[in-house]
Chain A
Amino acid sequence: MSQRFLLSRRLLGTTALAAVFAGRFAHAQSREIQIAAASDKPGNIDMQLDVNGETHKLSLDPRTTLLDALRDHMGLTGTKKGCDHGQCGACTVLINGVRMNSCLSLAAARDGDKITTIEGLAEGEKLHPMQAAFVKADAFQCGFCTPGQICSAVGMVAEMQRGAPSAASMDFDAKPVGSVEEIRERMSGNICRCSAYPNIVAAIVAASEGAPT
């Protein structure tokens, strides 16, 4: 039995554990994975991905998307795969502070970028204000879209603070920046099939009012 096989068996164990204690064991787990993924398969690309402040040295097939690298090679399964075509927003992460669809980005192309996933928003046990607002407003039902919604909302608040326009604020019957109608427009890249939208918007309004400007 090769050492690599042993390592991957260990990984399966830690992945299952991480699914139960999401977040809490994510760090220990990702360090394990760095070792396992350092294969020398022909055609693989070496890359360093900076995720939630930790550097991951990986050797991956060039086809690997950032989403698959996070989920399958770093054990960071908080970021969800919904449509895998950039239409649903479940895979939204922050890249250098900017929200993007991780399913439409090659992992290799993100070498050197600072990536923040849902696992990286909280400071220890202290939830990010957007996470806390989602909990308080009951802004989810099944929860599958929630990591993407929260990362997207954090990116959205930063965009508003930078003065980035939206179709609602630029449109013919312009809505004020930060209004409910305007936030709905800015969040249109995140679908919630349970349709928890009213509470999602309420959470974002509450969190963005408290956000530093």
Chain B
Amino acid sequence: MVANAVFTINGLRKSFGPIEVLGGIDLALAPGQVTVLMGANGAGKSTLVKIMSGVYTRSSGTMELAGRPFAPATPAEAIRAGVVTVHQSINDGVVADLDVATNLTLDRLSGTGSKLMFNPGRVRREARAVAERVGLDIDMKKQVRELSLADRQMVSIARAMAHEPQVLVLDEPTSSLSSAEAERLFALVDRLRDRGVAILYISHRMSDIRRVADTIVSLRDGVITGTFDTEPLDYEGAVNAMLGRRIDAGQIEARAATGAVLSAKGLRIAEGAEPFDLELGAGEIVAVTGLVGVGKTALAETLFGLRTPLGGTMTLGGKPYAPRAPGKAIEQGVFLLAKDRASSGIVHDFDIGRNISLPFLRGLSAGTIMQRGAEQQRARDQIAALNIVCRGERDEMSALSGGNQQKVMVARWMAEPARVFILDEPFQGVDISARRDMAAKLRASAQGRATLVFLTELDEVFEIADRILVMSEHTIVGAHRNGEIDFDRLLSQIAGDGAAQAAATTTTQEKTTAP
């Protein structure tokens, strides 16, 4: 496919225990080209990067660098061989308490042949050479902690480039940069491309991809589902390949709402984002979709009182609604099942029953004293209602599978009637049968409340939603009714075409992205 590839991967597989994360990857990187790797969360991007950078070893398949087999056992080996990775978390690549010069030459401080004494003058000289090679103009004496995120990233890349790599892997390098900062990064990427480096650029930000990509490779569920390398690049095709098109879209019967529960007017959730209106009705399930980092979680947190909107008003049941804290939102019947259950949902020291009762202890106690009987009864009821596979409500959470852990989180919030039930990526790390169970339960119980589900994966969206909203650049750019979807229009909205694209370019200068 690529004639002059410097780096090739053939039939690469990786399994963790019984779970296959990468199922036969073929990839070729050409010198002087930027290959963008797109993939949703859990598609296997990070695993692939970690294999290339020597953190993981592959299960099977081969890699070749400049015609020679490449099988790094450690990150250091990968770097020596000429494959350098700049990881997503910027601060992993720099030492905040040292100055720029020391950071740029950090790799020479240890290892054989390094000098015992630390000579600041020599270090600065060497560092300047490193910086000049990538055209980086920066004060060598500055402490890294005083630098902006973008400058830290530059330092980190410059340091990586000091090894004269043939292949440079950039793992979501713009995820914490503003647009203006990102532009500097792209300029650096251009320079490196001109020097003949083969660059693998991992991202799901469409604006980045449009800017830098020579080739786009879409990864989905551990296999490459599309390669796009003919001009003009087919961005929508790439998004489609990454998210997966479901043939039987619209399998559910979309219901209409019976009356407004929550509505928002002129809501603005990020600096420079367009304001938008939102109306959620009783009995309907509304899915909000969009790529990672477009503000889905920010919207969920705004509705739940974790963030204050920058503008706009909200009403709940006709009354003004401006929760200052999650406790206030819960009191008014607005519940949020937050993203990433391990860090923001599960109380690891508590058994299943105590995890379920957590937000509603007041109703389960007489005065201040817990009513254990009522608590256990609720747990047993919810375990039965959601079909949670366990021995009983006293089981530890760690004994449950991911799907069942998530069912406990759903059970927690479904134990009391909600007016608005918000679920942020509820199907992450959940097997299909558990997902179906939860989706069916949500649909069966939807009467009387508004349900808002934030999802990146399109087939999950089609499986559960009555109505679909599309987010891009921290605003809502499209609305669809499940069952009568113009699929191409949906994809182009996700990919950020049309109106949103125009809006984005006008606000590029002041736009900042949520971390």
| Chain A complexes with chain B | no
Please list the residues of chain A having a beta carbon within 8 angstroms of any beta carbon in chain B.
none
